Chain A
């Protein structure tokens, strides 16, 4: 299955992916209207340490702890993509407690939110990848390591 992977050596730390993600998931057509002057809730985050930057988003784990732990049964795997049914989520943050990558966080409505590979919005392919100027985030098939 195609997943989002990070090439940390190429990341410029420009945070564009965060904006593109927040815009793609805002449901608003106009980027300025969607983002300007608002607190944004992207599902991808740039981390920085000693001048190295890289993007972190949901790994769509093969055996996802968040799915097994959600107290509402709100997280499930659909064709390999780990998705949250926000109408069932009660915002208990058990998924935040268990995700080893820190890849899930409360969204604007209090329900848990994470990368769903832009399958649930109109973007059609991960907006972070599409907009990355330096191919520091890619969307591709990779083999499992032994």
Chain B
């Protein structure tokens, strides 16, 4: 019997398995996994280096997950999906019949063609458990580490190894850290905090060429290092989908039920470009909650159930060395901004068209989810107490009736 075939074995695939099994408890599921690991929590690789978790605790699901869900895992590489022949082909030629496919292939690190990169002996990307274990082997108390890329992945890597090496320097072409998430001011606060914890920066500058243990920067500066980490960016894995005939852009194009443009092929997680309700456009939302929810939604639909996601928004909870920063939604230029600042904390609300379009908090992030839900649900602000919303996130912003539903009913 042809079953469901899932390409990739990350969190999106785990969501897909759980989605399928919530509707169909019997049809076989085959997962094709390039990485030789059971599904694990990818964001935890930096916490592992920091000593805050272990490889076995990084398992995203309990040991009996595949067995309980009647899933066969094939450790291999899928190269094509053909919905006319109804089969998925692996690189060793093996063919697996399928009635529906979910592409949950995630993303790959993007490594620009730096001049002289081949002369660098110890160089790593930072995406997988295998990358992490290899990096761990290469570093020691005396290592000077250069990280190219001051985005989430580069900085998480910096935090993870900071106490295990002699020095960490992070460079980025952008003039601020976390440039895709934070504005200048917020980035400045985070950068200062990272510096206080021993991380050095070379911003607005990037590597022109490598020469063994030296990086020559665009500015002419030089940086000497023992270990290099490349965290410039990631790219959605779209090739297989493209070859199968699916529309792709920066990610695989999907509708709100996770269908691609080809019948029988669904896609979920970091490899997709799905609907972002905060902007009304399709966008790659490469965050773990999104991967799980999209996977689950795809699974339900593949198995003949009905599910839709039309309220996905960008959101992030990022912390370094104890300083947390959360954000959700968008910050349209034309929005009214409410702001509160202290030395190491910022709370900024972006209000537009009578709704909370987005927010960002650095410092005390407690109960921020109350704001997130206003953004996600597009709650009209005339239904809530805006004055109280500005003071802090709490349920006092709601009317008695709404609160009674929230606290007195099954939700």
Contact = CB atoms under 8 A, between A and B. Distances in A.
Interface of A: 3, 5-8, 47-49, 52, 54, 56, 59, 61-62, 65, 68-69, 71-73, 87-88, 90-102, 104-105, 142-145
The list of the 9 closest CB pairs from A to B, nearest first, reads A102-B367, A69-B289, A49-B396, A100-B373, A73-B60, A99-B369, A97-B317, A6-B407, A94-B317
A142 B369 contact: no
A49 B369 CA distance: 19
A19 B389 CA distance: 27
Nearest to B385: A49
Contacts of A69: 288-289, 292
A11 B165 CA distance: 54
Contacts of A56: 395, 407
Nearest to B405: A145
Contacts of A102: 366-370, 393-395
Contacts of A8: 400, 403-404, 407
8 contacts: A3-B410, A48-B396, A54-B403, A68-B289, A72-B53, A73-B61, A90-B52, A142-B408
Name the interface size band of chain B. 35 or more
A111 B410 CA distance: 27
A93 B317 contact: yes
Interface string B19-53: 00000000000000000000001011001000011
A144 B328 CA distance: 30
A45 to B, nearest CB: 9
B212 to A, nearest CB: 36
A90 B403 contact: no
A68 B59 CA distance: 15
B293 interface: yes
A101 B394 CA distance: 8
B396 A97 contact: no
Nearest to B328: A97
Given A5-B407, A102-B393, A142-B409, A97 B53 contact: no
B366 A96 contact: yes
A99 B365 CA distance: 12
Contacts of B394: 47, 49, 102
Given A96-B317, A102-B369, A71 B409 contact: no
A70 B61 CA distance: 12
A73 B315 contact: no
A104 B368 CA distance: 10
Nearest to B295: A68
A88 B328 contact: no
A105 B366 contact: yes
B289 A98 contact: yes
Given A8-B403, A90-B52, A71 B44 contact: yes
B300 to A, nearest CB: 12
A123 B365 CA distance: 30
B372 interface: yes
Contact of B410 (A90, A97, A142): A142
A132 to B, nearest CB: 14
B319 interface: yes
Contacts of B319: 91-93
B296 interface: yes
Nearest to B326: A97
Contacts of A61: 411
A62 B411 contact: yes
Given A68-B292, A97-B372, A98-B372, 15 more contacts: A3-B410, A5-B408, A7-B408, A8-B403, A47-B394, A48-B396, A54-B403, A59-B406, A62-B411, A73-B60, A93-B319, A96-B368, A97-B365, A100-B373, A101-B406
B324 interface: yes
A54 to B, nearest CB: 7
A94 B410 contact: no
B388 A49 contact: yes
A98 B293 CA distance: 13
A98 to B, nearest CB: 5
Nearest to A57: B407
Contacts of A3: 410
Contacts of A105: 366-367
With a 10 A CB-CB cut-off, give which of B319, B395, B407 has the most chain A CB atoms: B407
B369 A98 contact: yes
Contacts of B395: 47, 56, 101-102
With a 10 A CB-CB cut-off, give which of A8, A59, A65, A96 has the most chain B CB atoms: A96
With a 10 A CB-CB cut-off, give which of B60, B319, B369, B372 has the most chain A CB atoms: B369
